[in-house]
Structure 1
């Protein structure tokens, strides 16, 4: 088992000696830093499991240093115990509000110090075990998804070969199998993208994209299906819009495809589905997909973007509850926002708000 590492930050070396003596009967590795300005640069070297942080220090005091540590994602889970001579409730509240997990008062009591250190290290140990479990789950998901994709590719290729050798009635059945397999392939791709987005391992391939052209391309794919239900796909693009925005076109296409697919599924026959694009004074691009379907109940308008959450069950309509979760992750990866609201008197409005960045200037 790895020996826990405790980082002691105090401008008085004597205080380090006191703490190390009081904890001498424990199996810990101690590191001491007497200058608060050196702490941030030393974290990656020391790799502490617990930080004992003095409050009253010259220069950057313990509370400010605690805030700086908590602002670094890699160290947000490391417990910080403030060591302070302050006893006022306001002072202790400041420590906790700065991101500290615990505090202990000076002069130090050995029994209390050992108990609080053991408590914080126990929390850190539980966090590390959870992270290990999550990493294992993530690795398993990636492995399973890749294996499923490979097997499914074999199925699709097999169906394509069979279609060339059978009669028309059998070919129709094979086409249904092929469509189902393609739907499963999309679901597997969604699972993979969600896993990558959750782990932070997906990189956006940003480039300048004509957003109106991208939306029109998505709409063109649904014209046949919409015509079968006698639905009208209507585009309303603002004339003042700066068309090019910096996005990952493939991922954003997936978002728009999902929203329009839902609109076509849930909107009634003989209805209009409107796609609007506009911009505002805050240099944001606003995309709306508007339908007159059953809508989303107000109590579900926040939950609808969670994985496996389904708004309204519809007969004969496949609903897994992954599509909108993926949409939210992709939009947030673009520093954007996505909402759903009611379309009075009936229907839903899905709204995407994206930052409108300046076009990339080509250099020779």
Structure 2
């Protein structure tokens, strides 16, 4: 069932709303009116407009600043905004467009022009909403499929683990069974990470905060990768500060974050090279003037590095940078890291490692 389009008019002069409503009434829209930019920003979530007609010249917060704040909010940015203005200088119209306005109409408002511009932007908004719904459906179906994969993978893991414990098979078959078990563990880890990724993207994952000693966590993570690093002839160098410092974070997510960064560093490192994991604490001034300790985690490798033109995209989903022979790349690990860091209010970025390689830095 099609919903009646909602038009929000923002104008400090009630007569302006009266005129616009009269001109658009034959179109059958639902109308809402607010007299100021501040009130518009307060009411947007409740009104849920399909298009906004925004007067430029208003006291306190003018239409340009109001438009800029609307477009800066990811939840509202897709709402088309038509600036209604008596200004006609090109510089003024450019300011409207720079603020994010989708269109503008001059006063006195012409009925035919107003109806045509509103219809045009409503068509674009409807197409956007339809595409958004389609993408959301695809994401939901993908998450359901990934969730359903857990049952058969769990069966494979339990079955192979029981056979390994019983040791009934010949040694040659035992080795093959170990390969099956390790592959099942990797697949299970990927499934769990995809589910966590979906929750992080949806903002529905509740973080389980606790006080974490990064020295203890890093020591644990390094020990889990020692065997893999030795098999690849890679040396793991750990540089930790004096003990006693702690940060507040989700231990499980932070552990997985380090797993991803360290796994990537080892995967892309040549033999007889070094991967360095460094932790440091720096004083950081908060917005209220207080000082707290900021944790920085650096993971540096001596691999091929990441080209400067790829760095803005390397944290995007399914972005693998440059494909490498015999190196499996899915393009979800760094996306997961970025979402984990942002969920904690931190940042992650990549720089060159001198003389060769890349350094990923996490700030929490």
Q: 1:220 aligns with which of 219, 223, 229?
A: 223
Matches within 5 A, 1:40-189: 40-163=41-164, 164=166, 165-189=168-192
Distance 1:9 1:167, change over 3 A: same
CA RMSD of aligned residues (A): 2.4
Distance 1:199 1:237, change over 3 A: same
Match of 2:210 in 1: 207
| Uncovered stretches (5+) of structure 1, i.e. residues with no partner | 355-364
Give per-residue Cα distances to partners, 1:74-94, cap 9 Å, x unaligned: 322211211111112222223
Q: Distance in 1 between matches of 2:317 and 2:35?
A: 47
Alignment partner of 1:23: what SS?
helix
What is the aligned residue count? Answer: 353
Give per-residue Cα distances to partners, 1:260-314, cap 9 Å, x unaligned: 2233333334433321112335443222222333333444344433333334555
Shift of 1:113: 0.5
Q: Distance in 2 between matches of 1:199 and 1:96?
A: 31
The question of 1:332 aligning with 2:342 is answered yes
Matches within 5 A, 1:154-303: 154-163=155-164, 164=166, 165-239=168-242, 243-282=245-284, 283-303=293-313
Q: Under a length normalisation based on structure 2, what TM-score does the superposition of the two structures give?
A: 0.87
Q: Distance in 2 between matches of 1:31 and 1:259?
A: 50
Q: Distance in 1 between matches of 2:357 and 2:74?
A: 40
| Contact 1:6–1:49 (CA under 8 A) maintained in structure 2 | yes
Match of 1:345 in 2: 355
Distance 1:274 1:10, change over 3 A: closer
Q: Distance in 2 between matches of 1:247 and 1:258?
A: 17
| Contact 1:141–1:195 (CA under 8 A) maintained in structure 2 | no
Shift of 1:107: 0.7
Q: Distance in 2 between matches of 1:68 and 1:192?
A: 33
Q: Under a length normalisation based on structure 1, what TM-score does the superposition of the two structures give?
A: 0.87
Distance 1:193 1:114, change over 3 A: same
